[in-house]
């Protein structure tokens, strides 16, 4: 008979691509994970992984079996959550991925408060600007900026009215002057973001006839959005940031909104989940908390 633990380790190993990584995440020894996979292969009478000294990959049979294994685990989790639906005591483990800047500076204290309210709940968080794959990465939910058109997973709005804003420190604006229009933006030092070798130096803005793109330039660029925000506070240039990321700095006077009459690009914050069966009580309560907290922050100054 197939064991629940073996099935879970199979899905985790497929996502990690390594017995060692899967063992580290499950707090086990690599040999224990390998033994679980071999036991599952014996129960199923198929070979799930092709192994070599340097690589581990799913076989054709393993690829075909993986979605069924995930669905079986989801059904088991859903049954457990249904039994706990009316239980106010949240427990288990919730794995969350979020953008670096929002995660460290806004979300972290909210998560800390949420965990203190539910001491039996374990939180595992990862803050990074790389796009999280909620199907393959070891996460239950991900918070993501932007519209979601992919129908393969479910997106719940957290801050649907959030937008990007141009910001700079008062010191920078005093020294370099404030641009009076988007046409003057390319003459300024702009703080850029890059990912996977792509430099995001074309900034988009809503316009009367659709969308306007402005080519900007700057000598500072980072793949960490929090670093870009820190450069802006330090007076190194103009940044184009999510309002959720910079609202505290603007209200504290560390940053000022540049061209406040110019609306910025929409950047709705969404909670991403593979499918509704994974909306556990913990996910539902966290979504409600985040939606409420983001609404309390308000939006950027009206144009």
302 within a domain of the structure (yes/no): no
What is residue 18's predicted lDDT score, i.e. its pLDDT? 86
> In terms of domains, do 183 and 231 share one?
yes
Q: Are 95 and 138 a contacting pair, CB within 8 Å? A: yes
> In terms of domains, do 70 and 104 share one?
no
What is residue 273's predicted lDDT score, i.e. its pLDDT? 82
> In terms of domains, do 215 and 144 share one?
no
What is residue 96's predicted lDDT score, i.e. its pLDDT? 92
> In terms of domains, do 200 and 283 share one?
no
> In terms of domains, do 77 and 101 share one?
no
Residue 152 is part of a domain; what is its CATH number?
Answer: 3.40.190.10
> In terms of domains, do 72 and 43 share one?
yes
What is residue 275's predicted lDDT score, i.e. its pLDDT? 66
46 within a domain of the structure (yes/no): yes
What is residue 149's predicted lDDT score, i.e. its pLDDT? 63
What is residue 182's predicted lDDT score, i.e. its pLDDT? 95
> In terms of domains, do 126 and 199 share one?
no
**Rounded to whole angstroms, how far apart are CA atoms 199 and 146?**
18
E strand segments, the chain:
49-51, 56-58, 92-98, 121-127, 141-145, 154-159, 164-168, 192-195, 198-200, 202-207, 210-215, 221-222, 239-242, 256-258, 269-273
254 within a domain of the structure (yes/no): yes
What is residue 209's predicted lDDT score, i.e. its pLDDT? 80
Residue 22 is part of a domain; what is its CATH number?
Answer: 1.10.10.10
pLDDT (tens digit, 9 = 90+) per residue, 31-74?
888 888 899 888 888 999 988 777 788 999 989 998 888 888 77
Task: Tell me the whole-structure pTM to 2 decimals.
Answer: 0.70
126 within a domain of the structure (yes/no): yes
> In terms of domains, do 171 and 252 share one?
yes
What is residue 89's predicted lDDT score, i.e. its pLDDT? 76
Phi, psi (degrees; rounded to nearest 5) at 285: -70, -40
Q: Are 253 and 170 a contacting pair, CB within 8 Å? A: yes
152 within a domain of the structure (yes/no): yes
Number of domains in the chain: 3
Exposed, middle or buried, 251 (CB in 10 Å: 0-12/13-18/19+)?
A: exposed
Torsion of CA 32, 38, 40, 46, to 10 degrees: 160
What is residue 81's predicted lDDT score, i.e. its pLDDT? 62
Number of H helices, E strands in the chain: 10, 15
226 token code pair: 């929090």
> In terms of domains, do 54 and 123 share one?
no
> In terms of domains, do 101 and 233 share one?
no
If the chain, 303 residues long, is cut into consecutive pieces of 10 residues, what is the mean pLDDT of each piece? 83 86 82 89 89 83 88 75 62 89 94 92 88 71 80 80 95 95 96 90 89 94 95 97 95 95 92 73 90 87 63
- Could you tell me the residue range of the domain that residue 105 belongs to? 92-161+268-297
- Mean pLDDT across the chain, nearest whole number? 87
Q: Which of 53, 83, 113 is the last residue of a domain?
A: 83
219 within a domain of the structure (yes/no): yes
What is residue 1's predicted lDDT score, i.e. its pLDDT? 73
> In terms of domains, do 115 and 182 share one?
no
Q: Which of 83, 116, 136 is the last residue of a domain?
A: 83
263 within a domain of the structure (yes/no): no
286 within a domain of the structure (yes/no): yes
> In terms of domains, do 272 and 251 share one?
no
Q: Are 278 and 74 a contacting pair, CB within 8 Å? A: yes
Q: Which of 83, 103, 138 is the last residue of a domain?
A: 83
């Amino acid at each position: 008979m197939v064991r629940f633990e073996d099935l879970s380790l199979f899905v985790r190993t497929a996502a990690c691509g390594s017995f060692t990584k899967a063992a580290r995440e499950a707090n086990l020894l690599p040999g224990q994970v390998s033994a679980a996979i071999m036991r599952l292969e014996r129960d199923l009478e198929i070979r799930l992984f092709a192994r070599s000294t340097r690589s581990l990959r799913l076989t054709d049979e393993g690829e075909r079996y993986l979605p069924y294994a995930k669905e079986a685990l989801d059904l088991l989790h859903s049954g457990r959550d249904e039994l706990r639906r009316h239980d106010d005591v949240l427990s288990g483990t919730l794995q969350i991925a979020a953008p670096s800047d929002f995660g460290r500076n806004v979300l972290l204290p909210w998560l800390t408060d949420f965990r203190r309210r539910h001491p039996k709940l374990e939180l595992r968080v990862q803050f990074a600007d790389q796009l999280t794959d909620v199907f393959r990465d070891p996460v239950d939910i991900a918070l993501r900026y932007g519209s979601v058109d992919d129908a393969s997973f479910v997106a719940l709005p957290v801050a649907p009215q959030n937008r990007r804003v141009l910001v700079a420190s008062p010191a920078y604006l005093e020294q370099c002057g404030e641009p009076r229009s988007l046409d003057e933006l390319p003459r300024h030092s702009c703080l850029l973001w890059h990912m996977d070798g792509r430099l995001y130096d074309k900034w988009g803005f809503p316009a009367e006839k659709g969308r306007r793109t402005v080519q900007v330039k700057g000598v500072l660029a980072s793949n960490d959005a929090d670093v870009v925000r820190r450069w802006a506070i330090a007076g190194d240039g103009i940044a184009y940031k999510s309002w959720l990321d910079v609202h505290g700095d603007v209200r504290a006077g560390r940053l000022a909104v540049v061209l406040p009459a110019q609306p910025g690009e929409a950047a709705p914050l969404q909670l991403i989940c593979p499918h509704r069966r994974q909306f556990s009580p913990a996910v539902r309560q966290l979504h409600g908390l985040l939606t409420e907290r983001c609404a309390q922050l308000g939006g950027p100054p009206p144009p």
